[in-house]
Chains A and B, each alone.
Chain A
Amino acid sequence: MKRLMLGNEAVARGLYEAGCSFVSSYPGTPSTEITEAAAAYQEIYAEWAPNEKVAMESAFGAALAGKRSFCGMKHVGLNVAADPLFTIAYTGINAGMIIGVADDAGMHSSQNEQDSRHYARAAKVPMLEPADSAEALAFAKAAYEISEQFDTPVFLKMCTRVSHSQSVVEPGERTEHAKAYEKTPQKYIMMPGNAKKRHPIVEARTAALTEYAETSPLNRVEDGECDEIGIITASTCYQYVKEAFGSKYPVLKLGMAWPMPEKKIRDFAASVRKLVVVEELEGFIENHCRQLGLDPVGKDVFPLIDELSQNTVAEKLGKKAEGGIKLAEAIPNRPPVMCAGCPHRGLFYTLAKNKVTVMGDIGCYTLGAVPPLAAIDTTICMGASIPNLHGFNKANGGETSAKTVAVIGDSTFMHSGMTGLVNTAYNESNSTVIILDNSITGMTGHQQNPTTGMNLKGDPATKIDLEALCRAIGIRRVRVVDPYDLAACDAALKEELQADEPSVIISRRPCALLKYVKHKKPLTVDADKCRSCKACMKIGCPAISMKDGKARIDNTLCTGCGVCMQLCKFGALTGEEA
Chain B
Amino acid sequence: MQTRNIMIVGVGGQGSLLASKLLGRLLLDKGFDVKVSEVHGMSQRGGSVVTYVRYGEKVYSPIIDKGEADFIVSFELLEAARWTEYLKTDGRIVTNTQQIAPMPVITGAAEYPENLVEKMAAAGLQVDAFDALSLAEEAGSAKAVNLVLMGRLSNYFDFTEAEWQEAIEKSVPAKFLELNRKAFALGRGA
| 8 Å CB contact of B24 from A166, A236, A242 | A166
Contacts of A367 in B (CB 8 A): 45
Contact of B48 with A by CB under 8 A: yes
Contact of B4 with A by CB under 8 A: no
By beta carbon, the residue of chain B nearest A538 is B107
Contact of B166 with A by CB under 8 A: no
Contact of A371 with B by CB under 8 A: yes
Contact of A370 with B by CB under 8 A: yes
Q: Which of A205-213, A284-292, A336-344, A429-437 contacts B (4 or more CB under 8 A)?
A: A336-344
By beta carbon, the residue of chain A nearest B125 is A325
Contact of A77 with B by CB under 8 A: no
Report the Cα distance A567→B84, complex, angstroms: 40
Question: Nearest-CB distance from B70 to chain A (Å)?
Answer: 11
Contact of B160 with A by CB under 8 A: no
| 8 Å CB contact of A30 from B41, B45, B82, B116 | B41
| 8 Å CB contact of A236 from B46, B62, B85, B116 | B62
Interface centre among B39, B91, B112 (most CB of A within 10 A): B39
Question: Nearest-CB distance from B161 to chain A (Å)?
Answer: 22
Residues 530-569 of chain A: 1 if any B CB is under 8 Å from the residue's CB, otherwise 0?
0000000100101011000000001010000000000000
A311 and B65 within 8 A (CB): yes
Known contacts A321-B66, A364-B45, A542-B106; is A166 also within 8 Å of B84 by CB? no
A165 and B36 within 8 A (CB): yes
Chain B 98-135 interface residues, beta-carbon cutoff 8 Å to A? 100-107, 109-113, 116, 119-120, 123-125
Known contacts A29-B42, A109-B40; is A544 also within 8 Å of B79 by CB? no
Q: Which of B27-35, B150-158, B173-181, B182-190 contacts A (4 or more CB under 8 A)?
A: B27-35
Contacts of B60 in A (CB 8 A): 239-240, 242-243, 310
Known contacts A239-B62, A331-B82; is A337 also within 8 Å of B45 by CB? yes
By beta carbon, the residue of chain A nearest B72 is A324
By beta carbon, the residue of chain A nearest B109 is A371
Contact of B94 with A by CB under 8 A: no
| 8 Å CB contact of B84 from A6, A310, A327 | A327
B35 and A167 within 8 A (CB): yes
Known contacts A30-B40, A108-B42, A167-B62; is A329 also within 8 Å of B103 by CB? no
A336 and B87 within 8 A (CB): no
Known contacts A239-B62, A445-B40; is A334 also within 8 Å of B48 by CB? yes
B36 and A166 within 8 A (CB): yes
A332 and B123 within 8 A (CB): no
A325 and B84 within 8 A (CB): yes
By beta carbon, the residue of chain A nearest B104 is A332
Contacts of B104 in A (CB 8 A): 332-333, 335
A334 and B103 within 8 A (CB): yes
Report the Cα distance A544→B101, complex, angstroms: 9
Report the Cα distance A4→B23, complex, angstroms: 11
Contact of A2 with B by CB under 8 A: yes
Known contacts A4-B36, A161-B62, A336-B12; is A324 also within 8 Å of B84 by CB? yes
B42 and A109 within 8 A (CB): yes
Report the Cα distance A335→B82, complex, angstroms: 13
A4 and B88 within 8 A (CB): no
Contacts of B123 in A (CB 8 A): 325, 327-328
Question: Nearest-CB distance from A265 to chain B (Å)?
Answer: 23
Report the Cα distance A165→B66, complex, angstroms: 19
B63 and A161 within 8 A (CB): yes
Report the Cα distance A445→B40, complex, angstroms: 8
Residues 73-103 of chain A: 1 if any B CB is under 8 Å from the residue's CB, otherwise 0?
0000000000000000000000000000000
Question: Nearest-CB distance from A427 to chain B (Å)?
Answer: 33
A443 and B81 within 8 A (CB): no
Contact of A326 with B by CB under 8 A: yes
Known contacts A161-B63, A335-B103; is A324 also within 8 Å of B87 by CB? yes
A168 and B34 within 8 A (CB): yes
B46 and A337 within 8 A (CB): yes
21 examples of A-B residue contacts, CB within 8 angstroms? A108-B39, A108-B42, A108-B43, A161-B63, A164-B38, A165-B35, A167-B59, A240-B61, A311-B67, A323-B85, A324-B66, A324-B87, A327-B123, A331-B81, A331-B82, A334-B47, A336-B42, A336-B45, A337-B103, A371-B103, A444-B41
* Other 7 A-B pairs with CB < 8 A, given A332-B113, A336-B44, A337-B46: A30-B40, A167-B33, A167-B59, A322-B89, A330-B110, A331-B81, A334-B46
Q: What are the 9 A-B residue pairs with the smallest beta carbon separation, nearest first?
A: A109-B41, A29-B41, A336-B47, A165-B62, A332-B110, A334-B102, A243-B61, A109-B42, A334-B48
